[in-house]
A and B are shown apart, each in its own frame.
Chain A
Amino acid sequence: DGGITQSPKYLFRKEGQNVTLSCEQNLNHDAMYWYRQDPGQGLRLIYYSQIVNDFQKGDIAEGYSVSREKKESFPLTVTSAQKNPTAFYLCASSITQGADTEAFFGQGTRLTVV
């Protein structure tokens, strides 16, 4: 089955630790995105990537880092510099970043920092 996979579904970390969230897609999509969602809120864009080895900051990139070494993979690292890391994180991909793009989302990773 083609799709986009995020792992793990739930993640617990101690304050001050870096943590990396996995996102893999086998849809052969060029563009990939990371979003953060807080309770009762919409999605806020953290980073996005149009192509391998290239990525841009979204609206709330501070305290996060990404890499895009392979087309299929776009891992997100939540660093200790992120002041409020507890949230629901969503990864998405689309075939391109054109005006008529349709994004496909993973099931999300719920990160809790204690």
Chain B
Amino acid sequence: LAKTTQPISMDSYEGQEVNITCSHNNIATNDYITWYQQFPSQGPRFIIQGYKTKVTNEVASLFIPADRKSSTLSLPRVSLSDTAVYYCLVGDRSGAGSYQLTFGKGTKLSVIP
């Protein structure tokens, strides 16, 4: 099963760009990389997904190098409302051939005024 490694926590000041890196050395050829955001006492919310190179949406950018063994979530000009836990997921195919959507402990981002 694919496994991801992220920093446990990060601090940032308001208005700065934040980059959270995720390592996934055992990523498989067919796996996508997906990031979720979770606020306290709420369910996680999908942020962005990519397979290679760069993906950008209205919320974030995702950078994936050619070897795909890591990825970086970039949040431009963070605000206090971006304080949350961010999870990186890669495809986690079970023996039965289905994806289990396995979450790690995530990265707790604290945005400071």
Give chain A's interface residues, CB within 8 Å of chain B: 31, 33, 35, 41-45, 48, 50, 56, 58-59, 88, 90, 92, 94, 97-108, 110
Other A-B pairs beyond A44-B103, A48-B98, A103-B101, 12, CB < 8 Å: A33-B100, A41-B105, A42-B87, A42-B103, A42-B105, A45-B103, A90-B44, A92-B44, A97-B99, A103-B44, A103-B46, A106-B43
How many residues from B make CB contacts under 8 Å with A? Answer: 28
Do residues A97 and B105 form an inter-chain contact, with CB atoms below 8 A? no
| A48: B residues at CB distance < 8 A | 98, 100-101
Residue of A nearest to B103 (CB): A43
| A58: B residues at CB distance < 8 A | 100
Do residues B98 and A56 form an inter-chain contact, with CB atoms below 8 A? yes
Do residues B44 and A33 form an inter-chain contact, with CB atoms below 8 A? no
Do residues A108 and B43 form an inter-chain contact, with CB atoms below 8 A? yes
| B81: A residues at CB distance < 8 A | none
